[in-house]
């Protein structure tokens, strides 16, 4: 048995394979016990204590201290509420704020204070409990597993990693990040006003209750097709640059906002075959204007607003069966005759021809909507030359599922309208 003492500077002290007493005193110390039943006291400062093998007693002391199991040879379970950890012996933990897990499958549990829990590699389970916690699923993009993180009560920050991670903010105003590589994370805000940022994979972002921000454009990925789901509260949805599904359904009316970026929700059309390939964002649960109040009316935030002018009938450049059109209050309808007479009842099979017709006959920035197969499609031409060999096309299309809009407006007051901002 040996006694190791630091001083009031930042010390790194490594004990022996036997039972040691190690004292860090003041300073930000790194204290390592190795083997044996060690007694390690960090003292003042922000210390890292690693007991090693054996039944150790680890005391963090004053400061933001962490119990370090990153060198453990197997998975561990550490619980700051109980003050115990097992997996390489049965350790007693006192006055710690943070835990670093092993490279294997760990369970890390915080306490009523503000904790930082680091899963590292393996398939980990992290529980922050009360307090404003920070939870990291892991850092190694090659060997990290499918982790589960629960923030618990408090305003927590959660970070996903590689693998199919599930992150739950639970109660409080939480901030949650998916991983920047192409794994699929499931991110749940829970109760509170949460901020949820998708990664580069096909993530699921679920705000839950509260006024949430769901942002899948955070990493700037061009390939991820994610799902963004709101809930009750004033939510903001910001899809990525690929095809996203946005679910705005709620039981208590509130004004939600969907943001469509430049180059987001791009139209993709096979111009040679005239076949529409769905590459646009779809929105379910969008609430149109009711003509009475703006309360509970949803907003669509697009890059520019240039609602197309009214016209009673125009013989356009044909595309398939689409030969002419009329526009009223931003809603365009089509006819299969050269002289417009009455609106065609469009089906999903007509969409390819409709979009080609719009490209043939309209210019940059013109915005309008039309209905087909029970959905409303908002269209904005980007002004580029439409060449058959160029796919995808950069025109913006947003599909509003299950609604029939009768106008486009900029104040949210015209009944049956899409409120553009």
Residues 339-373: tens digit of each pLDDT: 999 999 999 999 989 988 998 898 878 899 999 99
Q: Which residues pair with 85 in a beta bridge?
A: 78, 91
**Full 3-state SS string of the chain:** CEEEECCCCCCEEECCCCCEEEECCCCCCEEECCCCCCEEECCCCCCEEECCCCCCEEECCCCCCEEECCCCCCCCEEECCCCEEECCCEEEEECCCEEECCCCCCEEECCCCCCEEECCCECCEEECCCCCCEEECCCCCCCECCCEEECCCCCCEEECCCCCCEEECCCCCCEEECCCCCCCCEEECCCCCCEEECCCCCCEEECCCCCCEEECCCCCCCCCCCEEECCCCCCEEECCCCCCEEECCCCCCCCCEEECCCCCCECEEECCCCEEECCCEEEECCCCCCCCCCCCCCEEECCCCCECCCEEEEEEEEECCEEEEEEECCEEEEECCCCCCCCCCCCHHHHHHHHHHHHHHCCCCCEEEEEECCEEEEEECCCCCCCCCCCCCCCEEEEEECCCCCEEECCCCCCCEEEEC
CA distances from 276 to 184, 351, 397 (A): 27, 6, 12
Least confident of 66-70, 218-222, 262-266, 309-313: 218-222
- The pLDDT of residue 270 is above 50: no
**For 122-152, what is each residue's pLDDT tens digit?**
999 999 999 999 999 987 665 678 999 999 9
Q: pLDDT-based confidence at 409, cuts 50/70/90?
A: very high
Q: Looking at the predicted structure, is the pLDDT value of residue 400 above 50?
A: yes
pLDDT, position 386: 54
pLDDT, tens only, 308-351: 999 999 999 999 999 999 999 999 999 999 999 999 999 999 99
Check whether 271 has a pLDDT greater than 70: no
Does the pLDDT value for residue 392 go beyond 50? no
Q: In this structure, how many other beta carbons lie within 10 angstroms of the beta carbon of residue 52? A: 24
CA distance 23 to 335: 86
Mean pLDDT across 215-226: 73
pLDDT value, residue 92: 98
Burial (Cβ within 10 Å: 0-12, 13-18, ≥19) of residue 13: middle
pLDDT at 180: 74
Looking up tokens 């009523």 gives 112
The pLDDT assigned to 183 comes to 76
Q: What is the mean pLDDT of the chain?
A: 91
For residues 138 and 390, the model is more confident at: 138
Percent of the chain with pLDDT over 90: 78
Give the mean model confidence (pLDDT) for residues 191-195.
97
Pairing of strands 39-41, 311-319: unpaired
* pLDDT higher than 80, residue 277: no
Q: What is the mean pLDDT of residues 152-181?
A: 93
- Split at pLDDT 50, 70, 90, the class of 1 is confident
**What's the whole-number mean pLDDT along residues 243-260?**
94
| Residue percentage of the chain with pLDDT more than 70 | 92
């Amino acid at each position: 048995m040996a006694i190791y003492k630091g001083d009031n500077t930042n010390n790194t002290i490594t004990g022996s394979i036997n039972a040691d007493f190690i004292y860090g005193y003041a300073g930000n110390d790194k204290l390592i016990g190795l083997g044996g039943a060690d007694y390690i006291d960090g003292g003042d400062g922000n210390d890292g204590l690693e007991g090693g093998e054996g039944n150790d007693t680890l005391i963090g002391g004053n400061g933001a201290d962490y119990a370090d199991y990153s060198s453990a040879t197997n998975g561990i379970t550490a619980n700051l509420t109980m003050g115990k950890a097992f997996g390489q012996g049965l350790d007693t933990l006192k006055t710690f704020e943070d835990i670093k897990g092993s490279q294997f499958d760990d369970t890390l549990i915080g306490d009523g204070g503000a904790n930082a829990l680091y899963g590292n590699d393996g398939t980990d389970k992290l529980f922050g409990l009360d307090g404003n916690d920070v939870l990291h699923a892991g850092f190694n993009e090659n060997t990290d597993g499918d982790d589960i993180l629960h923030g618990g009560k408090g305003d927590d920050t959660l970070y996903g990693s590689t693998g199919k991670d599930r992150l739950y903010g639970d109660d409080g105003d939480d901030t949650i990040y998916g991983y920047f590589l192409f794994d699929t994370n499931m991110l749940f805000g829970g109760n509170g006003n949460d901020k949820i940022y998708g990664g580069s994979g096909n993530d699921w972002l679920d705000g839950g209750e509260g006024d949430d921000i769901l942002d899948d454009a955070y990493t700037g990925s061009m390939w991820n097709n994610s799902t963004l789901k709101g809930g009750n509260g004033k939510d903001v949805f910001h899809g990525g640059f690929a095809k996203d599904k946005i679910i705005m359904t709620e039981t208590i009316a509130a004004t939600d906002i969907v943001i469509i970026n430049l180059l987001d929700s791009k139209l993709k059309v096979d111009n040679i075959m005239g076949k529409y390939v769905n590459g646009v964002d779809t929105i379910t649960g969008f609430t149109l204007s009711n003509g009475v109040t703006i309360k509970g009316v949803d907003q669509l935030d697009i890059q520019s607003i240039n609602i197309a002018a009214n016209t009673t009938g125009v013989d356009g450049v044909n595309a398939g069966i689409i030969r002419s059109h009329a526009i009223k209050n931003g809603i365009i309808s089509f006819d299969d005759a050269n002289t417009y007479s009455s609106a065609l009842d469009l089906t999903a099979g007509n969409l390819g021809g409709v979009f080609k017709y719009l490209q043939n006959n309209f210019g940059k920035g013109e915005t309008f909507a039309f209905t087909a197969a029970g959905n409303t499609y908002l269209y904005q031409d980007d002004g580029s030359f439409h060449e058959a060999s160029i796919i995808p096309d950069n025109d913006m299309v947003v599909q509003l599922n299950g609604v029939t809009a009768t106008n486009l407006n900029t104040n949210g007051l015209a009944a049956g309208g899409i409120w553009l901002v």
